[in-house]
Amino acid sequence: MLNRFLVQITFFESLKSVCRLGLNTAIRISSFHACKYLLRFLFVGLFTLGMLLQVSAQSLLQKGEYFTHEGIGDGEYIELTGDVLRSDLPDHFVAASVMPFLEFEAEVISLDEENAAVIFLLAETGGRDLELLLNVEFLQSGESIHYYRIGSESSQKFERRQTPVFSEKERGKLVVEWNGSADRTEEILKNNPLRNAYLHNGSLRSDETGFGTSLECHINVSCPEGLTFNEVKDGINRIRVVVEEGIGHCSGALINNTAEDHTPYLLTAYHCMDGFTPIYDMWRFDFFYESLSCSDPQDEPGFFSLTGAEFRAGHPDTDFLLLELTEDFPGDFEVPFLGWDRREDYLPQNTALIHHPSADIKKVSLYSSSLRVHPNQINWNNGVTTPRQSHYRQNLTSGTFEPGSSGSPLLSPEGRIMGQLHGGNPSCSTFLAYSGILYYSWDLGDDSSERLRDWLDPLNTGQLTLDPSLREAAFDEFLVHGVVNTPAGQAVGMVEVTLECGDESWETVTEADGLFNFEVSLPAGVVDACQLSFRKNVNPRNGVNVLDIAVMRRHILNIEPLEDYPFQAADLNGDGVINVIDIAILRRLILQIIDQFPDSDSWKMLPDELDFDLNGDPDYFFEVTGLKMGDVDFSANPSN
C-alpha cells in the first residue's frame, strides 16, 4: 500500500518565537500564554485538515513547501534490469520493449470525496532510462496522466489528445499516475494508459547513441567532401524508428516523383523494421540535424521534426522501404525532394552516402572508383538472403557508416538517388558497403506495395532519370487595414491597434486620420485566423464638462433618456445603468480629484477585439467606433 503525504507544519516555530518576544516586556508574559492556547488551537485544526486531505488533489508527486513524501516500499516496484532486454534486436535499436514484464495491479487512492488517483505503474530502472508510449484519448476535461521519478520536484503531465504520445526518458523509481474525478475510477481502470514501455540500453555496439557518439573517422556533411551535394543534403534526415518491440534509428531521404507535386515520399531501408511490428504513426523524421561547419560543434545543433508516416511499398530483396509522411512542412520551409536515376548501365565514379551514423549529426562518405553491381547473393545477419545483382558494392574511400546509417541514399555525382544503404562491414579500418539498387526495386514484386514504379512515376512517363525538385517557401500575404471613427464620423487618432495571427503580432497607432494598416506575410497554411484589438487611454478629461453632467441628470430624471452611444458614454462604471454613481465619478474627474476613470479606459472601442478568419482574401478592411467616455454630447477632440 502506498504511504501518504503528510502536512509539514513549518511555521509553528516562527509563531512560538513571536509569542516569546511579545510586543514589549510588560505584556510578554500575558502574550505568551495567549499565543500558547492559540498555537494549540491551530495545531489541532491543521492536523485534522492534514489527515482529511492526506494527499494532494493535483498529484501524489506534489512536493511543495507543505508536503513531503514518506517513500514506497521497495518490494512494490517492478525491477527492470538489463536481463529483461531482448537479445535479438538489431544494431540500430537503442531501446527494447519491457511491456511483458510490467504486470502491475492498478491501485485506486482516494484524495477526497470528489477526487482520486490511480497508480498504473511503479518501476525501478536503476541507471537505465524508461520511455513510455501513452494512450491519452480516453481522458476527459480536468483529467491528466503524470509520469515522474520519486524524489523529483516535477512531473511530466499529459492531457487528452487523439493520438498516442511519447514521454521523456526517466530513470530511477518511477510512477505512472492518473488524476481525476473519483466517480471515473472504475472506467479509468479499464483504460490502461500504457501503450508500451521502452527500456534504453544504447545500441548493441555502444552504450550511447546520438550527438557526438559516431566514430572519429566520419566526415561532417558541411566539409569540402560534401559540397557537391549541398543542394540535396537538406532532404536527407534521421529517422527515429518505433516498433512494438523497440526503438531504433535509421536514415532516409525525401524522393521526387514525375508529377513533381512534392508528395512527401521518403525512401529508407526495409530492414529498419523487418521482422518487427512497426508503429508508423510514431516514427519521427529529423531534418537539418547537422554541423554548419566542417568541425564538430561544441553544442548539439537543433533540428526540425515531422512525426508519422504511412507505408507505401517495400521489399526485402533490395531492402527498400517507401513511406509517405503524414505531416507537411510549414509554408516557410525550403526543402529538396531528391531526384533518382534508374539506368542499369550507369556505373559512375564519385558516388556518396549521406547519413546519420549512430543517430549523430549528418555525415558524408565517398567512393571515388566506379560503382559496381555485386554479382552474388548476400546472406544477412537477420536471416535474409538478397538475390544476386540486387545490390551495389562500394569500398568507401572517405568516411564510413554505422548502425543508424541504414536507409541513407546512395547518390550519383549529380545528386540523384541510385539506391539506399543496406549494410556491410563498417569501421574506421574497413569500409565495405552494400546498397539496394533502385532500378531493381522499380518493377520488383507483384503489385504496387512491393515496387517503386507506381509511386515515383505516377504519370507513367517511363523516364529513367528525374532531377531534384525544391519545395520553395510559400507565404500567405494580405493587407489588414481600417479606420476608427467617432459616432459622429470624426477620425480618432492615438488608438493603439494590435494584430495577432498565431504566434506573430504587430502593433501600430492611428494618426489624426484614424487609419491603421498592416501588411502581413505568414508561412502558407500555418495560420487560419487572426485577431485585432483596439485601445485608447489618454486625456480622460477631453470633452468632459458640467454640460455632460446635466445631460446625465436629465436621463436619471427621465426627462430626456439617453440611448445607444450617448448611453454607453455615460455608463462610466459599466454596470449597464446610469445613476448618481456615474455622475459622482465624472464630477471627481472634472474637479481633478481623480485622474482616470476607475472602471474603464478614457475611450471605449466598439468592438475592442475583432476576430476574423483568413479565407484567402488579400484584403481585410474593418471599421471601428471610438467612444469618448463621459463625453455625452460628443464635444471631445478625437485627435487628442
CB atoms < 10 A from the CB of 388, how many? 11
Spatial contact of 117 and 55, defined as CB atoms under 8 Å apart: yes
State which amino acid sits at residue 441: S
Provide the grid cell at 201.
540500453
DSSP 492: -
Count the neighbouring beta carbons within 10 Å of the beta carbon of residue 170. 20
Cell (9 digits) for 349: 565514379
Cβ proximity of 626 and 492 under 8 Å: yes
Q: % helix / strand / coil in the chain, to the nearest 5? A: 15, 35, 50
Catalytic hit among 249, 262, 271, 315: 271
Q: Which of 203, 390, 406, 602 is catalytic?
A: 406
Q: Which of 201, 143, 151, 191 is nearest to 174 (CA)?
A: 151
Q: Is 319 among the catalytic positions? A: yes
Length of the chain: 640
Q: Which three cell numbers stand for residue 404?
A: 543508424
Q: Which amino acid is it at 500?
A: E
State the cell numbers at 450: 512491393
CA-nearest of 607, 612, 604 to 528 is 612
On whether the CB atoms of residues 357 and 314 are closer than 8 A, the answer is: no
- Nearest-Å Rg of the Cα atoms of the chain is 35
Residue 454 annotated in active site: no
Q: CA 414, CA 536: separation in Å to the nearest integer?
A: 61
Catalytic residue among 274, 319, 476, 548: 319
Asked if 274 is an active-site residue, the reply is no
Judge contact between 111 and 117, C-beta under 8 A. Answer: yes
The 10 Å Cβ neighbour count of residue 300 is 12
**Nearest Cα to 301, choosing from 232, 251, 360?**
360
Cis (ω within 30 of 0) for the bond into 607? yes
The owner of cell 499529459 is: 158
- Active-site residues: which are they? 271, 319, 406
